[in-house]
Amino acid sequence: MSGPAVHSDAAAIADRIIDELDGRIVLGLPLGLGKSVRIADALFARAAADRAIRLDIFTALTLEPPRWSSDMERRFVEPLNQRLFAGYQVPAYARALRDGTLPDNVTVSEFFLQAGRWLEVPAMQQAYISANYTHAARYIFDRGLNVIAQLVARRGEGEAARYSLSCNSDTTLDLLPRLKASGRKFLLVGEVNSALPFMAGEAALPASAFKLVLETPGAEPRLFAPPKEPVSDADHAIGIHAASLVKDGGTLQIGIGSLGDAVTAALIMRHRDPELFAETLRGLDGRDTIGERETGRFDLGLYATSEMFVDGFAELYRERILKRRAADGALLHAGFFVGSEDFYRFLRDLPDAERDLFQMRPISFVNEIFGDEAAKRRDRVDARFVNSAMMVTLLGDVVSDGLGGGRVVSGVGGQYNFVAQAFALDGARSIITLNAWRRFHGERHSRLLWNSDHTTIPRHLRDIVITEYGVADLRGRSDRDCIVAMLAIADQKFQGELAAQARKSRKLEAGFRLPDAHRDNTRERIAGALRAAKARGFCQPFPFGTAFTDEERKLLPALALLRDRMAGSWSQAWVLLASLMAGGAPDRHGPELRRMALDVPKTMSERLYRRVLTWALDQQAG
């Protein structure tokens, strides 16, 4: 069979697609990194110019650089975006959704949103599709999908070339057999990006699988590569608790973000220094339950099956923790990845034989046990599926994707899939992680609730919940015992109120008193428990480095403090007064003020910004 028609102009490819499909385009773009944005933009431009063309876009996790909501935030974010995201192409449909200019012959639907970014965009909220990750391919197919456009890595030339789906084997590998079997006319279109690693195995397709390919050597858009988030003390405490539940020789799934990094860092601490790990865990737990936890080295190692190949798995591989092979020889099976430029470089630079240890597969393979179930059961022994949540009720309902009133924050994604796997596999557990509290409008609020208007994972699937204050094992327990276990990992400030709500609902006896061992759930206790580990180089804010500069690392907590303290008008007045009274020493923060263009203030507003920021930096310095 012949290879694809290769073009250097996205507009020419758009014209071919429109001609082939008579102007009725149902476009599938992969979740996250793997979107062919240039081809999508070219189709969008054609549809905007010709209302006879119909363009329906189905996708997930449209990636955008950070945004700002104030002039102070702009001073931090704008230079950051210029440095880290210059050359990254934001899809035109995303800009149109935000400014309300989406043409009436174009629709955009997503089944997973970049967290919190689309809450105030009615068009996206209305077009959101609630779906398990494993069901998304079926839904898109049923809507008439006839084009898939995604980034690929290429090896070889001409008809002998092979194209790797690289960062997104997930839904594409599930859709292709379904599309072929249907007899429907469809086009698989690739856009080559040389920064993508060539992932072999099922992710590598022959040239004949593609109809059209865009290649522009030397003029390829930059891959989206977000900087690492800081890992807080609370995050590290959660990571240590989670790491103590992972069995040597077991199976692991983790997610992106600071909590995923915290779990990775804790596993590494446990492997390098088991005694320090056990000592730190004992300090965090507040009880003598260490004998029930796992604190030893990983002699057998772990195998990973994780919908997202996060860069934490690269760190575990370097540490010789990720080393247990599945039946096919792989150390990891995943469906998609997005990460730092260092992570992409790590995968590109690996020798082929090592890179082949990381296998990109259909999401139906990773997120389900159906299909060769016996082999999956043998591979996925003692699985620990670690995911995060926004809130959890005392009865075990998990809130991960949305808020009351139907507002969508992100999406279900694969969380339900892994919770269900944890109940289907022998020895497996679902672990939900979250900080015990958050700040909102200047005040602390518990993330553990009595009840919630919205639920992602219902309470009949309650399993393990972890906060910085400990582990609540809810599986198979009565409602009363679940409430007690959750109160034990709540922040001290909220335990009394939560217990009162449970008593009012007659789910807790009138004379209940929380044991003393759980009544000291405070930030100060967590900080003290981590002190020895920090002195030995563990539990750092950026355990695996970051693209933030030294100045930006210092500015991040200071800006977070200002955002928190200035949420309300009275809070703003208090901060302004405190900063004026404190005076401060701007000279000691010269690099940070220069980074924010406040070293030589020219206006009254800039002088005020300088004063307030100096105060915040002083507060963070001690």
Token pair, residue 333, equals 């099976």
Q: What residue spans in the chain does CATH classification 3.40.1080.10 cover?
A: 5-214
How far apart are alpha carbons 115 and 574 in whole angstroms? 31
- Least Cα distance to 572 among 607, 604, 609, 620 occurs for 609
Using DSSP's 3-state secondary structure scheme, residue 391 falls into: strand
Q: What average pLDDT score do residues 599-616 get?
A: 90
Q: What average pLDDT score do residues 504-531 get?
A: 94
> What pLDDT is attached to residue 621?
76
The partner residues of 392 in beta bridges, in order of sequence, read 398, 448
Using DSSP's 3-state secondary structure scheme, residue 478 falls into: coil
Q: What average pLDDT score do residues 529-534 get?
A: 98
Contact criterion met (CB below 8 Å) for 157 and 191? no
Write the DSSP symbol of residue 485: H
Burial 555-572 (b: 16+ CB within 10 A, else e): bbbbbebbbbbbeeeebe
How far apart are alpha carbons 473 and 463 in whole angstroms? 6
> What pLDDT is attached to residue 587?
73
How far apart are alpha carbons 25 and 111 in whole angstroms? 19
> What pLDDT is attached to residue 215?
98
User: For 163-200, what is each residue's pLDDT tens digit?
Assistant: 999 999 999 999 999 999 999 999 999 999 999 999 99
Write the DSSP symbol of residue 486: H
How far apart are alpha carbons 202 and 28 in whole angstroms? 20
User: For 533-587, what is each residue's pLDDT tens digit?
Assistant: 999 999 999 999 999 999 999 999 999 888 876 655 444 444 455 555 555 566 7
Tell me the three-class secondary structure of 319-374, residue by residue: CCCECCCCCCCCCEEEEECCCCHHHHHHHHHCCHHHHCCEEECCHHHHHCCCCCHH
> What pLDDT is attached to residue 569?
46
User: For 53-111, what is each residue's pLDDT tens digit?
Assistant: 999 999 999 999 999 988 999 999 999 999 999 999 999 999 999 999 999 999 999 99
> What pLDDT is attached to residue 326?
98
Which CATH number fits the domain 5-214, given the four candidates 3.40.50.300, 3.40.1080.10, 3.40.630.10, 3.40.50.620? Answer: 3.40.1080.10
Q: What average pLDDT score do residues 458-465 get?
A: 97
Q: What is the DSSP string of 533-581?
A: HHHTT-S-SSTT--SS-HHHHHHHHHHHHHHHHTSSHHHHHHHHHHHHH
* Fold designation for 233-528: Glutaconate Coenzyme A-transferase (3.40.1080)
Indicate whether 352 pLDDT > 80: yes
Q: What residue spans in the chain does CATH classification 3.40.1080.20 cover?
A: 233-528
Q: What average pLDDT score do residues 284-292 get?
A: 68
**CA of 551: how far to CAs of 69, 85, 86, 138, in Å?**
21, 19, 20, 47
**202 or 372: whose pLDDT is higher?**
202
Indicate whether 130 pLDDT > 60: yes
Residue listed under structure tokens 């260490």 = 290
Q: What average pLDDT score do residues 128-142 get?
A: 97
Indicate whether 622 pLDDT > 80: no
**237 or 3: whose pLDDT is higher?**
237
Q: How far is CA 394 from the centre of its chain?
A: 25
The residues near 571 (Cβ < 8 Å, ≥ 6 apart) are 441, 442, 565
Q: Going by DSSP bridges, is the β-strand pair 464-467/204-206 parallel, antiparallel, or unpaired? A: unpaired
User: For 268-280, what is each residue's pLDDT tens digit?
Assistant: 999 999 999 999 9
pLDDT, mean over the chain:
94
Taking the model in full, what pTM does it have?
0.95
Q: What is the DSSP string of 396-440?
A: --EE-SB-GGG-BSS--BTHHHHHHHHHHSTT-EEEEE--SEEEE
> What pLDDT is attached to residue 439?
84
User: For 488-498, what is each residue's pLDDT tens digit?
Assistant: 999 999 999 99
The partner residues of 438 in beta bridges, in order of sequence, read 445
